[in-house]
Amino acid sequence: MRKNYKSILAFLLLLCVAALFVAPVVVVVINSFKARFSIATEPFVLPNNDTFVGFENYLNGISTTSFITAFFWSLFITVFSVLAIVLFTSMTAWYIVRVKSILTSVLYYALVFSMIVPFQMVMFTMSKTANVLGLDNPLGIILIYLGFGAGLATFMFVGFIKSVPFGVEEAATIDGCNPLQTFFLIVLPILKPTTITVAILNAMWIWNDYLLPYLVIGNDYKTIPIAIQYLKGGYGSIDMGAMMAMLVLSIIPVVVFYLFGQKYIIKGVAAGAVKG
């Protein structure tokens, strides 16, 4: 009986916590179908015959912000940045774990140290360097995201690879695999939980990031967060209806991606946190 009470209490507590996280999303969805002036006066009230505007906010937001173009650039930058982070950091982590030397130790601790450096400390230097090196474009910002995302991703991959038996790789070598074949055919499939975890964490970060694209590529290649800011007019006026609608459209892809890979997150984070 005591265990049942504890389970029920834990369930109710987690239900309340879940409601706190879901409530803002529900409010945004509700207000995306309401007239812009009623959002300020009745933000928590369901749309009625007087306030319901259908998909008018969505159409207005898409046309005002050039949402389709912004969606393309966000998708392009996010997909290729995540692919670059996953590919290069997993290979780096494998090299760090299997090759024991001063160089690999220094490289590992340098990457771990980069995790604690606040972005605000390097953002102005970074933006100037990106401009000088010609990285202020969608291809260049992928390299910048790789640099900022390498620390955490490498740390997680290193922790997981330490738990992979070395005998598996030795067997592949005996069967005639070279190092690249061993990594891509043997090691990388084993890294699936951590790979998906790293991909989800970085996809949510890059997709929703505003500051880095604003500093590096500016208005030439507007991503979704930058495009949404253009709904803010002069003297602080904001088309709240269109903004709510664009926020709904912007969170759908990353939520879908998260739902498909959520079962791997806890497993990947736990494995990547192992200290060997």
What does the domain layout of the chain look like in residue ranges? Answer: 56-272
Q: Are 60 and 242 in contact (CB under 8 A)?
A: yes
pLDDT at 238: 77
Q: What is the DSSP letter of 236?
A: G
Q: Are 208 and 254 in contact (CB under 8 A)?
A: yes
Q: Please spell the DSSP secondary structure of 72-123, one letter per residue.
A: HHHHHHHHHHHHHHHHHHHHHHHHHHHS-SHHHHHHHHHHHHHTTS-HHHHH
pLDDT tens digits, 12-60: 999 999 899 889 889 999 988 988 788 878 888 888 888 888 888 898 8
Nearest to 107 by CA among 122, 117, 91, 96: 96
Distance CA 88, CA 5 (A): 48
Mean pLDDT, residues 84-103 taken together: 94
Q: What is the CATH number of domain 56-272?
A: 1.10.3720.10
Q: Are 20 and 36 in contact (CB under 8 A)?
A: no
Is the pLDDT reported for residue 236 higher than 70?
no
Is the pLDDT reported for residue 166 higher than 60?
yes
Is the pLDDT reported for residue 203 higher than 50?
yes
pTM summary value: 0.85
How sure is the predictor about 275, in pLDDT bands with cuts at 50, 70 and 90?
Answer: very low
